[in-house]
């Protein structure tokens, strides 16, 4: 690529009066032109990629000043925030997990910035605090990412992240005294923690050169740390210097008999992974699946010296096989079903399998040899998670939720096959005042796409209801029905919330995913557009009362759709989005997304990416009121994506659009809100921006 870095104007941030009377900060342009396979592409805001420069910091400050001055003038903004706090202020518990005689669980009293880790002896014991992340930083943005207990229950290895970053630091706690040992482990990222004997395995990168929040991450390594030693004494277990853009994870079976190494090569566009094992005491890993290809494999558990493995090899909805290392033989335990396999866990000598049927969970219990024993009767249609445990467990826990069903924890007795409520939240509002229905609408190419629509009972279909349409559509991720208290203030005002299960996700297995990736990515945008058109046709709203929202890959979705159909909606929220599709792979672990998007280094992929890249397809036409959101510690989708996109949006559309085109940059936060307070503040600002730009005045809050 040809690169010219000469400045064509000074980095002056004086206000500029646009034709539409919006005073956006002036953004300097540089004479940067790249050549992609014979096509020259200008990148005038390349300088905003430098997250450490004073000029970028000044630009962010000017943009935030404009945005927050605007938000502060919305008269009901604070009342919305207060109402969100009220409905969110209830006790939240996680399902317990057992280690010996202790049960560990997380609890948030309501508005705590971080959930607190507790334990108690037996189910009736007195809870005691194990670790309270709220005490670790003044602003409550240090997060407990993992807490893994050794087999003997003496120690725990845990990791913390700061300010929303994906980087983690590791520590070791003596669980007898609940105090830390002296060691600290740095530069952990994309890692499992797995104990074996007197230490644990973890994955890390070498210390990055340059910006820790933006530099490309390469050479993912597996290390072994022994309790009581320093990181400098850790043993390098595995690295691959010939393939620097591979991921390497290591997990240990419950009996600690085997270490399982997982290797993926997404940097080369491969969806699958290789799989290796090493028996305790052995020096080298032996292959189960020697080469990375298009199929994925994961070890669920071991049965003696054999492995239960979930795979999508020649089974788009996945199946479960049993592998014998002695003779390299494979046996089908659970064949592929018509519904996609969502999860496979073991506990109490049973195999628990969850499937998706029209985007709602079904759970079945099998013997370890695959025989179906029973279906777990769930409270209704919704989303279920849990069921994992120890081999000697007599009961397990699971959590069930749906849009109007708050997360409720159930205890499932393995012998009697019965579920009982273990704990459910006490709310200050009545979820039964709202209802959800699932519909199937038709996309551009005739595909039927499911969508959940939630609203207050008695809603009138008069086209005037503020409607928020959300979707993700990528990376084989399913958007499942789940309860969110922060939706309540929006629904109370007569708002309609729609969740579209567009292609690119895993709602109908790998075929649904493949229909929305790489050269078929336009299907995702067509599905989202058709969802908006359905809501308008059915009179939930009109285009002056429709808002689009999506985050990360969903931020890309919103950015692409408002380029293609700017008149479809009144308001848009592209959040932490992948907006520069030509350079995404040059930051942190962005190269990992190549199997999903393709890569601009390839001529065919470049042509496809260039056609829909949000940054490169902005038009000089009227756009919906748009509030881009990002954060200074987002080292997954670096904020430069949103910075460059906003600068281009304001420069082109800002001259002709009467709607505000703003960016909200959170501080000390990451790819998701780093604490409860920031999450509530952002949600209040989104609702305030939505209502205000629709000309909707909320009823008494």
- CA dist., res. 220 & res. 243, Å (int): 10
- Largest Cα span, the chain: 75
Enter the tokens of residue 445: 């190419």
Cα 276 to Cα 34, 235, 415: the distances in Å are 41, 19, 35
For residue 37, indicate whether it is catalytic.
Answer: no
For residue 671, indicate whether it is catalytic.
Answer: yes
Q: Among residues 385, 552, 600, 674, which one is catalytic?
A: 552
By CB atoms closer than 10 A (0-12, 13-18, 19+), residue 303 is middle
Matching residue, tokens 């990376």:
475
Q: Among residues 513, 633, 671, 674, which one is catalytic?
A: 671
Helix (H) or strand (E) holding 334: strand 329-334
> Helices 522-537 and 553-564: crossing angle, nearest 10°?
70
Question: Could you write out the three-class secondary structure of 391-443?
Answer: CCCCEEEEEEEECCEEEEEEEEECCCCEEEEEECCCCCCCHHHEEEEEEEEEC
CA atoms within 13 A on the CB side of 58: 13
- CA dist., res. 351 & res. 341, Å (int): 13
- CA dist., res. 357 & res. 344, Å (int): 16
Residue 561's region, left for phi above 0, alpha for psi from -120 to 50, else beta, is alpha
Q: Which long-range contacts (CB under 8 A, 24 or more apart) does 92-100 make?
A: 92/407, 92/425, 93/409, 93/423, 93/425, 94/399, 94/409, 95/386, 95/397, 95/398, 95/399, 95/409, 95/422, 96/123, 96/397, 97/389, 97/397, 98/389, 98/390, 98/393, 99/149, 99/153, 100/153
Q: What angle do CA 58, 160, 84 make, to 5 degrees?
A: 65
Q: Known catalytic residues?
A: 552, 671
């Amino acid at each position: 690529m040809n690169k010219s870095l000469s400045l064509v104007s000074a980095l002056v941030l004086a206000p500029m009066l646009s034709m539409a009377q919006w005073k956006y900060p002036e953004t300097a342009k540089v004479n940067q032109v790249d050549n992609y396979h014979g096509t020259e592409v200008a990148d005038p805001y390349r300088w905003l990629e430098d997250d450490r420069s004073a000029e970028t910091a000044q630009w962010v400050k000017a943009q935030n000043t404009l945005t927050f001055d605007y938000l502060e003038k919305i008269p009901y903004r604070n009342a919305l925030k207060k109402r969100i706090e009220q409905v969110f202020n209830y006790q939240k518990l996680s399902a317990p997990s057992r280690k010996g005689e202790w049960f560990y669980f997380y609890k948030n009293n309501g508005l705590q910035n971080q959930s607190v880790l507790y334990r108690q002896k037996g189910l009736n014991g007195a809870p005691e605090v194990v670790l309270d992340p709220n005490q670790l930083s003044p602003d409550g943005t240090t997060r407990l990412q993992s807490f893994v207990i050794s087999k003997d229950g003496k120690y725990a290895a845990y990791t913390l992240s700061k300010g929303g970053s994906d980087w983690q630091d590791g520590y070791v706690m003596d669980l007898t005294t609940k105090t830390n040992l002296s060691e600290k482990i740095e530069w952990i990222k994309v890692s499992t923690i797995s104990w074996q004997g007197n230490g644990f395995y973890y994955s890390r990168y070498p210390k990055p050169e340059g910006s820790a929040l933006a530099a490309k991450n390469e050479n993912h390594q597996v290390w072994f740390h022994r309790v009581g030693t320093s990181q400098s004494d850790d043993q390098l277990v595995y690295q691959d210097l010939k393939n620097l853009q591979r991921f390497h994870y290591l997990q240990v079976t419950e009996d600690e008999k085997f270490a399982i190494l997982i290797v993926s090569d997404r940097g080369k566009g491969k969806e699958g992974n290789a799989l290796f094992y090493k028996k305790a005491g052995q020096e080298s890993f032996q292959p189960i699946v020697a080469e990375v290809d298009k199929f994925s494999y994961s070890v669920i558990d071991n049965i003696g010296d054999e492995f239960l493995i979930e795979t999508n090899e020649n089974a788009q909805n996945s199946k479960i096989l049993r592998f014998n290392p002695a003779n390299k033989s494979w046996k089908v335990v659970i064949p592929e079903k018509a519904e996609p396999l969502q999860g496979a866990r073991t506990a109490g000598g049973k195999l628990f399998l969850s499937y998706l049927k029209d985007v709602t969970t079904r759970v079945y219990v099998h013997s370890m040899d695959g025989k179906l024993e029973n279906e777990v009767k769930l409270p209704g249609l919704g989303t279920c998670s849990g069921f994992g445990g120890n081999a000697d467990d007599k009961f397990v826990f699971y959590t069930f939720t749906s849009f109007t069903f708050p997360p409720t924890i159930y205890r499932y007795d393995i012998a009697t096959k019965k579920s009982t409520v273990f704990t459910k939240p006490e709310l200050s509002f009545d979820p039964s005042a709202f209802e959800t229905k699932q519909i199937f609408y038709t996309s551009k190419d005739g595909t039927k796409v499911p969508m959940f629509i939630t609203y207050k009972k008695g809603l009138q279909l008069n086209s005037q209801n503020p409607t928020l349409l959300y979707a993700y559509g990528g990376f084989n991720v399913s958007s499942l029905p789940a309860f969110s208290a922060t939706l309540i203030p929006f629904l109370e005002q007569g708002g309609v919330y729609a969740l579209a299960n567009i292609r690119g996700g895993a709602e109908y297995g790998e075929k649904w995913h493949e229909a929305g990736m790489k050269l078929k990515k336009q299907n995702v945008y067509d599905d989202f557009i058709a969802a908006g058109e359905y809501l308008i046709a059915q009179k939930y709203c009109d285009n002056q009362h429709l808002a689009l929202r999506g985050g990360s890959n969903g931020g890309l979705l919103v950015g692409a759709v408002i380029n293609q159909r700017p008149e479809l909606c009144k308001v848009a929220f592209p959040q932490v989005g992948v907006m520069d599709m030509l350079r995404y792979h040059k930051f942190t672990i962005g190269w990992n997304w190549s199997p999903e998007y393709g890569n601009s280094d390839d001529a065919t992929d470049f042509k496809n990416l260039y056609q829909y890249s949000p940054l490169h397809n902005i038009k000089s036409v009227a756009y919906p009121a748009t509030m881009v959101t990002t954060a200074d510690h987002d080292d997954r989708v670096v904020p430069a994506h949103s910075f460059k996109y906003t600068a281009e949006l304001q420069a082109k559309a800002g001259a002709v659009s009467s709607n505000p085109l703003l960016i909200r940059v959170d501080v000390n936060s990451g790819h998701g809100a780093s604490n409860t307070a920031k999450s509530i503040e952002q949600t209040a600002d989104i609702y305030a921006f939505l209502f205000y730009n629709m000309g909707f005045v909320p009823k008494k809050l």
